[in-house]
Amino acid sequence: MKKMIAALFALFLLAGCGGLFQPMPTPDEDTIATQVAAILTTMPTATEDAGLQPTQPLPTIPPTETPLLPTETTEPTQVQPSPTEPPALPTETPLPTPTATLQPTATIAFTPSPNDPVARLGPASWTDNMDKDNNWPMGSDKFTEISFSDGVMFLTGLTTTDGWRLTWPELTNFYLEMTFQTGNCNTNDRYGMIVRVPESRNPNRGYLAGLTCDGKVSLRRWDATVGAKGEMFNLIPWTAKSAVKAGANQTNRLGLMAIGDRLILYVNGELVGEARDNTFSKGYFGVFVGARDTEKFTIKVDQVRYWENPTP
């Protein structure tokens, strides 16, 4: 009896072992998808574009809205250090594709003075004759309106606050010149260029070189990250200069040479002021307008060009 029980037990084990070697059933698609998903969730996620740099990076044009500017402050005795508070990031908007570098072609005839940088710097590194809108964000925002017609840019101020539009590329040491034509204007209506803007998609810092309808010139530093309302710092306060052609329907060439911390200001080829400031060492550039005294004050921008690494 014991031998019969042992034989039956052995036969049972053999039958069980045979079951272990039976072929596994083929899993359905849902089962496979679940298993793959489980494997993928355990894998580390790579940081987007980690370690990759384009061979020729092109900067982008910023969103059209510009930050509010506070009332200007008097010039402090010492240059303040760059703030460390990070700015808020705006929502990105579709940007136009920049065009290729153009050869400099003057659209307004003038005879440069002996002190004019244009007379000694040779061909410009980059020129935009404003025949097309490829390099600039179009349309309206809260502060400005921009359009192109008859070979010029029309930039209109929609508020008394200075508003700007940026283009490309990022510059470090340069001489930048813009040719402006005023329309109807009054005393404090202002216009000019903004340079060394550190972030093209968050243009809340930089230097503003400007002119007024009544013939004043200034160089200011704007930093929206200072305090609750930002800070406008006067490197060169608004000052009347004979080199500026004052009044409505006038044409002025405004130039700024930036080399390291040296910021040298020119109007119609004449040196009108110089300041030193190392807050912003490089960045993007653009144009600004402020309709202080004339509703919808509009300027025409006829040419923008720059020379890289100039000699003072």
- What domains sit in the chain, N to C, each tagged with a CATH number? 130-308 (2.60.120.560)
Mean pLDDT calculated for residue range 239-267: 98
Structural contact between residues 165 and 155, judged by C-beta atoms closer than 8 angstroms? yes
Question: Is the pLDDT confidence value at 10 over 90?
Answer: no
pLDDT value of position 270: 97
Percentage, residues of the chain above pLDDT 90: 62
pLDDT value of position 115: 85
Structure tokens at 65: 């809205």
Question: Is the pLDDT confidence value at 39 over 90?
Answer: no
Structural contact between residues 138 and 130, judged by C-beta atoms closer than 8 angstroms? no
Tell me which residue has tokens 């508070």. Answer: 85
Strand partners, 223: 205, 231
Full strand arrangement of the beta sheet holding 216-223: 163-171, 283-290, 190-197, 205-212, 216-223, 231-240
What span, in angstroms and rounded, lies between the C-alpha atoms of 211 and 295? 17
Split at pLDDT 50, 70, 90, the class of 201 is very high
Q: DSSP string covering 113-173, please?
A: -TT-THHHH-S-SEEE-SSSSTTS--EE-SSEEEEEETTEEEEEE-SSS-EEEEEEEEESS
Structural contact between residues 268 and 245, judged by C-beta atoms closer than 8 angstroms? yes
Split at pLDDT 50, 70, 90, the class of 120 is very high
Mean pLDDT calculated for residue range 153-158: 98
**20-24, 78-82, 121-125: lowest mean pLDDT where?**
78-82
pLDDT value of position 112: 63
Structural contact between residues 216 and 76, judged by C-beta atoms closer than 8 angstroms? no
Structure tokens at 94: 């579709």
